[in-house]
Amino acid sequence: MAEPPPIPPSPAGFGWRSLACLADIIPLFICGHAVAGFTADAEALAAYARQQQWIRSFAELYVKALSSPGQEANRRILDHVLHPAAADVDAVVAWSWHVGTATFFVMLAALTAQEAMTGTTLGKRMFRLRTVSLPDAGRPGFLAALLRSAWKSAFFALPNPFFMLLGIVNFHVPLFRKDRRAWHDLWTRTQVVEGGRR
């Protein structure tokens, strides 16, 4: 007689899962920015410098408006924000894409390696969670880990409104499902459950 499949552990709660995600993403986001700085070419560095100049100009206008309030000071701030020079906009876009791309690949590599090898990540270990494949409740395979990581990395790293909107919706999907699975869990036949090791 064949043995029934194992009963999967309890699904991870939305709050614990969210905290684990933040614990994963924040350090990788910082690492991605550091990698972006090391890998920037002359064009990207020029875009960064122009972006920083725009920020400094905004800060100076803001301080002046605080020290000498008035309609003219307010108008200058609004004009600076609402009507930036085309070169300033191009610089912000160029630098944002450079940083986003570097951060995407850092997150993708780190999250995929952790989940494929151990079924967990640093954040999940901190909150005693793990990712399992369904229906066997084993460790997810490499492809499942890669797809899960690509989805999360695109949402958090790439400066694309479409990914951001889908990511926000996906982030809240577990609130409305009994099994607490998000879209990337459903696509990869995985689930985040309680019971990971510290």
Question: Does residue 63 belong to any structural domain of this protein?
Answer: no
The number of folded domains in the chain is: 1
Does 84 map to a domain?
Answer: no
DSSP letter string over 112-145?
HHHHHHHS--HHHHHTTEEEEETTT-----HHHH
Please give the C-alpha separations between residue 79 and each of 57, 58, 72, in angstroms, as whole numbers: 12, 10, 10
Q: Which two tokens stand for residue 170?
A: 């996906």
Mean pLDDT, rounded, of the chain: 90
* Owner of token pair 């990540």: 121
Residue 64 belongs to a domain: no
pLDDT at 2 exceeding the cut of 80:
no
What end-to-end distance do the CA atoms of the chain give, in Å?
37
pLDDT at 198 over 50: no
57 assigned to some structural domain: no
In a domain, 78, yes or no: no
User: What percentage of the chain exceeds 70 in pLDDT?
Assistant: 94
Q: 151 lies in which domain range?
A: 14-39+93-194
Residue 104 counted as domain residue: yes
The pTM for the full model equals: 0.83
pLDDT at position 1 over 80: no
Helix (H) or strand (E) holding 191: strand 190-194
Question: Is 69 within a domain?
Answer: no
